[in-house]
Structure 1
Amino acid sequence: MPNPQATENAAKDPFWDQFISRARQMGVKENALQWLVRRAEAYLAAFPDKRLQQHTLEDVTGYLEQVGRLDRMSDWQFVQIIDAIQNLLMTAKAPAVTQVDWELWRASARSLEGSLEAHHPTVARKKHHAPSPLDQVRATHRALLERVVGEIRRRHYSIRTEQVYEAWVCRFIVFCDHRDPAEVEVERIRDFLEDLAVRGQVSASTQNQALDALVFLYKQVLGQSLEALGDFARAKRPQRLPVVLERSEVGRLLAGIEGTQYLMAALLYGTGMRLMECVRLRVQDIDVNCHQILVRDGKGQKDRVVPLPLRLKQPLQEQLRRVRALHAQDLAAGYGEVPLPDALAQTRPHTSTEWIWQYVFPSGRLSAGPLSGQKRRHHVHENGLQKAVKAAAQRAGIAKKVNCHCLRHSFATHLLESGCDIHTLQVLLGHADVSTTMIYTHVLNQGGQGVRSPLDTLL
């Protein structure tokens, strides 16, 4: 525990008084100020012979990378260290404060694999609060849920599908008063789906997601058919057009994002990739010489090739150089492994440390995986980019519902405006059916389907 007098003693120094005052303005609570001071003092102790004005980008990132490898470092503690260093450099008016991508580091503080642990039925979770109804189901129906997870992994479904299906099975068991699903009548399944639509007022996609999970449970795990399910009240699926930005709006949006997050957002617009396809890019997927990017295991477990924008060639090469230096440091520290797809880690055990398998956008810290428990460097959490895009849209005054997927919609629409063939666009977007791609023909910049309003014809 920190010394209770740390904040009081620091406040007697004019520099630390300004540091604490700035922290209060940033919303730091009084009981956390002493921790912030200690984090700042620990950073200064790492550079005993160097003034803050002389600190460089390499000093800050090197320190954060070193701290990120420490065991038992919680996410909130890592964010607190980032806040302390940023506040320290801002107080000293050090040039390095404008060179560090602070938001990217904060996003990297969120452990991706650790976040999966909270939803995983086969991983022991430490609870500091009263168990929820779903937690009780996971405890009493553990064997069934492990069978569900086993069938999902045998089919190589994504970890997110595993989370969603497991959660819907738990909700269904709660709805059935914790009865075994194998003993539940078909009518209860219909009641559950109708309850979601009528009382829960969920969207049609959410109801279909629940149905898919239950069909998987009964057909693939319990070996039962749901042909007798029949009709039930379905949530109405609205026909919505995608939100598309004008070219000038895209320019203003990207101008408001800096550092690595700018590179990621620019890739979303310049290639049409989905958010998770971007953050999961590996080094071997980037072909700078051929100006293309290989998107592996996209939606529907399909690979495709997208163009690499020429103006992003140099920023990507610089990003790869930084990642290679970080990987070399990890190897020297006894780490350097990344998660591998399917059974590749078992068939080729040394592949996980190879340079070509490293993530293009790695996390700023190491984290233990929920399944293996092994400390590795995962890709950066997508939440940071989502927040950066939303904040940039607000600063740019864009009066639309802007998110990362909006950049993919804009990519498709702008290509069509430029004369791109609809079937070529289908391939670039990875759509299984051209009818999905055809939706972008309805949002071309023509104003009301190209119809001229009669108001404009009045004399």
Structure 2
Amino acid sequence: MEEVRRKIRAKHYSLRTEQAYLGWIRQFILANGRRHPRTLGGPEVEAFLSRLAVERHVAASTQNQALSALLFLYREVLRIELPWMDSVVRAKRPRRLPTVLSVEEVRKLLSMMEGRTWLMASLLYGTGMRLMECLRLRVKDVDFARGEILVRNGKGGKDRRTVLPRTLEEPLRREIARARVLHALDLAEGFGETPLPDALSRKYPDAGREFGWQFVFPADRRAVDPRGGGVHRHHVDDAVLARALKRARAQAGIDKLLSAHALRHSFATHLLEAGYDIRTIQELLGHKDVATTQIYTHVLNRGGRGVRSPLDGWGSVACGRDA
């Protein structure tokens, strides 16, 4: 397992991916009587994946994640190219339309929130950032002069720029001022160094103590870095926003089941409704293929893909025999 962890970190996979892969590999080994993976093969992998679907009723995405973990184990760690790996069928993910809030629903939702969680939710809707892109936002990547936010190391390891809502400038300045106070306190107590991506800490040894590298939304307490082992002030936990959104949804009387990602979906859909071209929205969202962005053309608030029902051409319609 230590070798798996080392290989994952050498490829700069995220901490969440590391935790997920280690978990699936551990489950696979336990499910086969703690036998070494070198002694296992296609039948064991297929049986394991089948049990996930049949007995545990996991989603297709979960089953595919387990398969990806096992592929990584055999190809990257054990250096075993087995022909049966290519024949293992990945579960087909169902094509579902994303949850999208109306403008009025977003307004109600945000009106039930306050403080940092309101600001984070407003940024997700106002910029189209993913949840972790927002939480990992660094002070130096907020450009008030140009009215934009630089999203670094987004999905696929890509950087991009997105719009900074003018209405959020002052709240963001206050949040950054709060982060500055916490950073000064950490420095005074002998801490204040933030984790840096990849090998930047070796290339720029003092960069982690500079304020520009600090998180815009720092955690309330310092914690031990699960990878480096040092004590840092990381960004706020994503569960904080999840709980706030759940409360706000109930208070606003919104029946749709939503997560933080629904605000990103709403951002894209509302831009399409406002007449912005799909290529611009693709760039703001950081989609590799415009086909991914085109899904929002199917959720525009027009019903039936913008088609007017022939029944609506009749004017008022009486009900059944009452006519």
TM-score (norm 1): 0.66
When structure 1 is superposed on structure 2, of 291-300 and 316-325 the one drifting more is 316-325
Displacement of 1:347 in angstroms is 2.5
Displacement of 1:226 in angstroms is 3.4
Distance (whole Å) between structure 1 residues aligned to residue 237 and residue 3 of structure 2:
29
* 1:187 has 2:43 as partner: yes
> Which of 152, 168, 181 is the aligned partner of 2:8?
152
Q: What is the one-letter code of the residue matched to 2:186?
A: D
How is 1:133-282 mapped onto 2 (pairs within 5 angstroms)?
Answer: 145-229=1-85, 231=87, 235-282=91-138
Displacement of 1:390 in angstroms is 1.5
TM-aligned CA distance change 1:230 to 1:151, over 3 Å? closer
* 1:408 has 2:274 as partner: no
Distance (whole Å) between structure 1 residues aligned to residue 276 and residue 82 of structure 2:
44
Distance (whole Å) between structure 1 residues aligned to residue 176 and residue 312 of structure 2:
54
Displacement of 1:374 in angstroms is 2.1
Displacement of 1:455 in angstroms is 4.3
Distance (whole Å) between structure 1 residues aligned to residue 77 and residue 99 of structure 2:
39
* 1:283 has 2:106 as partner: no
- For 1:443, the equivalent position in structure 2 comes to 299
Please tell me whether the aligned partners of residues 244 and 407 of structure 1 are also in contact (alpha carbons under 8 angstroms): yes
> Which of 187, 198, 213 is the aligned partner of 1:357?
213
Deviations 1:341-362 (A, max 9, x none): 1122223221111011111000
Distance (whole Å) between structure 1 residues aligned to residue 80 and residue 224 of structure 2:
37
Distance (whole Å) between structure 1 residues aligned to residue 137 and residue 90 of structure 2:
37
Distance (whole Å) between structure 2 residues aligned to residue 195 and residue 385 of structure 1:
34
Please, what is the CA RMSD of the aligned residues? Answer: 1.5
Distance (whole Å) between structure 1 residues aligned to residue 143 and residue 278 of structure 2:
25
> Which of 229, 237, 242 is the aligned partner of 1:373?
229
Distance (whole Å) between structure 1 residues aligned to residue 233 and residue 69 of structure 2:
31
Displacement of 1:236 in angstroms is 4.7
Distance (whole Å) between structure 2 residues aligned to residue 421 and residue 213 of structure 1:
38
Please tell me whether the aligned partners of residues 268 and 404 of structure 1 are also in contact (alpha carbons under 8 angstroms): yes
Distance (whole Å) between structure 2 residues aligned to residue 220 and residue 183 of structure 1:
17
Q: Which has the larger radius of gyration?
A: 1
Which secondary structure state, in structure 1, belongs to the residue aligned with residue 240 of structure 2? helix
Please tell me whether the aligned partners of residues 126 and 267 of structure 2 are also in contact (alpha carbons under 8 angstroms): yes
Deviations 1:231-273 (A, max 9, x none): 5565452221000000011011111110111111100000000
Distance (whole Å) between structure 1 residues aligned to residue 195 and residue 86 of structure 2:
42
> Which of 327, 336, 355 is the aligned partner of 2:183?
327
Work out the number of aligned pairs and report it: 315
Please tell me whether the aligned partners of residues 190 and 229 of structure 1 are also in contact (alpha carbons under 8 angstroms): no
Please tell me whether the aligned partners of residues 71 and 85 of structure 2 are also in contact (alpha carbons under 8 angstroms): no
Distance (whole Å) between structure 2 residues aligned to residue 259 and residue 334 of structure 1:
29
Q: What is the one-letter code of the residue matched to 1:203?
A: A
Which secondary structure state, in structure 2, belongs to the residue aligned with residue 300 of structure 1? helix
Please tell me whether the aligned partners of residues 187 and 229 of structure 1 are also in contact (alpha carbons under 8 angstroms): no
Q: What is the one-letter code of the residue matched to 2:244?
A: A
Displacement of 1:456 in angstroms is 3.5
Deviations 1:347-383 (A, max 9, x none): 3221111011111000111112233332211111111
TM-aligned CA distance change 1:349 to 1:234, over 3 Å? closer
Question: What 5-or-longer segments of structure 2 have no aligned partner?
Answer: 318-323
TM-score (norm 2): 0.94
* 1:305 has 2:170 as partner: no
Displacement of 1:227 in angstroms is 2.6
When structure 1 is superposed on structure 2, of 416-425 and 221-230 the one drifting more is 221-230
Q: What is the one-letter code of the residue matched to 1:154?
A: A
- For 1:91, the equivalent position in structure 2 comes to none
Q: What is the one-letter code of the residue matched to 1:158?
A: S
Q: What is the one-letter code of the residue matched to 1:247?
A: V
Distance (whole Å) between structure 1 residues aligned to residue 232 and residue 51 of structure 2:
42
TM-aligned CA distance change 1:395 to 1:150, over 3 Å? same
Identity among equivalent positions (%) equals 54
Which secondary structure state, in structure 1, belongs to the residue aligned with residue 300 of structure 2? coil
- For 2:280, the equivalent position in structure 1 comes to 424
Distance (whole Å) between structure 2 residues aligned to residue 171 and residue 361 of structure 1:
35
Which secondary structure state, in structure 2, belongs to the residue aligned with residue 168 of structure 1? helix
Question: What 5-or-longer segments of structure 1 have no aligned partner?
Answer: 1-144
Q: What is the one-letter code of the residue matched to 1:254?
A: L
Displacement of 1:337 in angstroms is 1.2
- For 1:13, the equivalent position in structure 2 comes to none
